[in-house]
């Protein structure tokens, strides 16, 4: 196992309580194909919460979360031609893959059996990967992304997971045809970006949520056309059979039957949230309406860059709540209660003090 000399500092969880605390560790030295990045901002994803609490069952402690990383290049390797010192860049969910399998050859590194996650993963040299709740990161140039000029680093950071996780299925499943009707289930970090993408693609967008208090914001601020309270039987009935697609971003256990009822014949329900328990899938509505249910993970590097460029073209960024690094535990508690509009972002550059 390699010995690293580049000192780093961040916040880590050391057990399933999920409580994060200051943590000293080290990064590899910058190699010929590497880019060293000073981290300025890092989004707080629901996956971070699941991982620090080991709710998915494969956390290895200590874990430094964070895979919505925005920063500036401070060093480049001899083989790096795409980036230079001072460039505004990002790092998303993965930092490596095998590069040779069928899916990697299709620019779908996000489905590679040997992909290496930005944190809580084992790198090619046998060491653990640590994420963006830290001051610096060293990443192979292939997995570094460039922010367009008009996409800010702080509100752009969540696009590297939340953004691509909804953009990729919208492209793959054909949810881009202007005039079609898209339902967005769940109005959180992923859902609010899906609304913005839907409108940019020219879709009619309806938000489906358990929270009536989000209606005014969904329509007036995010630009949704309509809002359905999923616990209101009358509203569900009125919207039955009206939607061409639904993107389900809900990360908690929930019923799929009400969502399926909202789809037209041939409608598609695509799930991207990751509940920690299986969901019940009623088959009769699928058969009776020739409906389809599918899933999708985050996209590959090429598509993630395409998504960032799309955001630049259409002026899209996440709606964020900027927090200090020492506020992360309180933010995690609020995230567990969905008490955030709509993504926490850690102001790493101004608040991560090396203790």
pLDDT tens sequence across 230-245: 999 999 999 999 999 9
* Burial class for 283, CB neighbours closer than 10 Å (0-12, 13-18, 19+): exposed
pLDDT tens sequence across 133-176: 999 999 999 999 999 999 999 999 999 999 999 999 999 999 99
Q: What does pTM read for this prediction? A: 0.94
pLDDT category at 251 given cuts 50, 70, 90 is confident
CB distance 51 to 63 below 8 Å: yes
Q: How far is CA 51 from CA 12, 18, 59, 66, 307, in A?
A: 11, 8, 6, 10, 26
Is the predicted pLDDT of residue 354 greater than 70, yes or no? no
- In this prediction, residue 1 carries a pLDDT of 47
CA distance 23 to 134: 9
């Amino acid at each position: 196992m390699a010995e690293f000399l580049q000192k780093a500092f961040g916040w880590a969880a050391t057990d399933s309580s999920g409580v994060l605390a200051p943590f000293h560790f080290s990064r590899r030295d910058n190699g010929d194909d590497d880019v060293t990045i000073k981290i300025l901002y890092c989004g707080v994803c629901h996956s971070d919460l699941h991982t620090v609490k080991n709710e998915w069952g494969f956390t290895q402690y200590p874990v430094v979360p964070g895979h919505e990383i925005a920063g500036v290049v401070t060093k480049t390797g001899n083989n790096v031609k795409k980036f230079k010192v001072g460039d505004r860049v990002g790092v998303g969910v993965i930092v490596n893959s095998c590069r040779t399998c069928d899916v990697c050859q299709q620019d779908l590194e996000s489905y590679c059996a040997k992909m290496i996650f930005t944190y809580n993963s084992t790198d090619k040299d046998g060491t653990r990967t640590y994420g963006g709740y830290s001051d610096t990161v060293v990443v192979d140039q292939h997995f570094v992304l460039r922010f367009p000029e008009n996409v800010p680093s702080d509100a752009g950071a969540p696009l590297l997971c939340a953004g691509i996780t909804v953009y990729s299925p919208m492209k793959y499943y054909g949810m881009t045809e202007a005039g079609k009707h898209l339902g967005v289930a769940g109005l959180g970090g992923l859902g609010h970006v899906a609304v913005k993408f839907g409108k940019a693609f020219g879709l009619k967008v309806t938000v489906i949520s358990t929270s009536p208090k989000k209606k005014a914001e969904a329509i007036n601020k995010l630009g949704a056309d309509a809002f359905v309270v999923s616990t209101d039987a009358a509203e569900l009935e009125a919207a039955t059979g009206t939607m061409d697609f639904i993107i389900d971003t809900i990360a908690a256990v929930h019923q799929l039957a009400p969502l399926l009822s909202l789809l037209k014949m041939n409608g598609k329900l695509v799930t991207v949230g990751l509940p920690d328990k299986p969901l019940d899938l009623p088959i009769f509505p699928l058969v009776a309406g020739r409906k389809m249910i599918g899933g999708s993970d985050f996209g590959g590097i090429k598509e993630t860059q395409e998504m960032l460029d799309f955001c630049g073209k259409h002026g899209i960024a996440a709606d964020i709540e900027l927090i200090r690094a020492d506020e992360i535990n309180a933010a995690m508690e609020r995230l567990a209660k969905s008490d955030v509009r709509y993504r926490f972002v850690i102001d790493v550059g101004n608040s991560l003090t090396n203790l």
